[in-house]
Chains A and B, each alone.
Chain A
């Protein structure tokens, strides 16, 4: 199911006023917040619910619909401090498909960082499906290979003079060691 979906407008709420949760879904953080659209105008007061599957917001007015957005579409989010347009700092969210965006303005400014951090954590719980990752990695490797072997004069500030005139000889001991060091660093440093 993990295909990205656009922002879902819904008024399906749980008994407690939040999003209807899937079996393996739970709310990581929730707080009072106003939703503002791309135009920065407030849609209304309500509550934001950040679950391990989606970011949801429901207005205080139970007659009105709220929004649910899954992480596959939430391309980028950030803390914004645009005091000209907003009462306080807030969390900006950028939707992948068509560049739509919205703002979540917590009622308590102290919640802004928590909202931002929780979305970071939960987004990382939802990596995209592996078929897409594989294709991306293949493309990435091909691009890197193409760019690096095709480019001239780019690699001049690193380890000059160790590999002879054309710079592309059999791996030297130092290069091998450097590669091994990169792997060791990766193993040691689990968190980003």
Chain B
């Protein structure tokens, strides 16, 4: 399994790595689960260097729990409050991702 990068350089490399990855998901449907359990499904519109996420056509995953979010279409989610991002399996080349993640991890641990 990939070694885990440490330190600031590794952190910056990881951020760019995942930013590149998330950009490949623009236009695809994802589910973003926040640290306070709120889960939002929508089309990824954009993502920035802090992994702040904009979703279009957003739907809340548990509308019975969050009825007031039914009328919301487009939203902005702070990257720092995201717990998980569920990806559509068929939109992700997991072989490529695993390999590039390993390369990113190994590359940074050599610094």
A and B: partners? yes
Among B11, B34, B35, B100, the residue within 8 A (CB) of A133 is: B11
- Tell me whether A128 is interfacial, beta carbon within 8 Å: yes
Task: From A9-17, A43-51, A94-102, give the one contacting chain B.
Answer: A94-102
Contact of B101 among A77, A97, A144 (CB under 8 A): A144
* A side interface size, CB within 8 A: 62
Within 8 A of B (CB), among A88-143: 92, 94, 96-99, 101, 116, 119-120, 123-124, 127-128, 130, 132-134, 136-138, 140-142
Q: Of A72, A158, A182, A192, which is in contact with the most chain B CB atoms at under 10 Å from its CB?
A: A192
| Interface-centre pick from A38, A119, A178 (highest chain B CB count, 10 A) | A178
- One digit per residue, 1 when the CB lies within 8 angstroms of any chain A CB and 0 when it does not, for chain B 25-48 equals 000000000111010100000111
Interface secondary structure of A, over-half rule: mixed
Residues in chain B near residue A158, CB distance under 8 A: 92-96
Q: Is the CB of A148 within 8 A of B94?
A: yes
Q: How far is the CA of A40 from the CA of B68 in the complex (A)?
A: 9
The answer to whether A130 and B11 touch across the interface, beta carbons within 8 angstroms, is yes
Question: Which B residues lie within 8 Å of A182 (CB)?
Answer: 17, 20-21, 24, 100
Closest to A119 in B: B76
CB distance B5 to A132 under 8 Å?
no
| Contacts of A138-175 to chain B: CB distance below 8 A | 138, 140-142, 144-146, 148-149, 151, 154-155, 157-159, 163, 167-168, 171, 175
Q: Is A185 an interface residue (CB 8 A)?
A: yes
* Smallest beta-carbon distance A154→chain B, Å: 5
Query: Contacting A168 at CB < 8 Å: which of B17, B98, B105?
Result: B98
Q: Which of A22-30, A59-67, A78-86 contacts B (4 or more CB under 8 A)?
A: A78-86
3 pairs of A and B residues whose beta carbons are closest in the complex: A158-B93, A78-B75, A155-B94
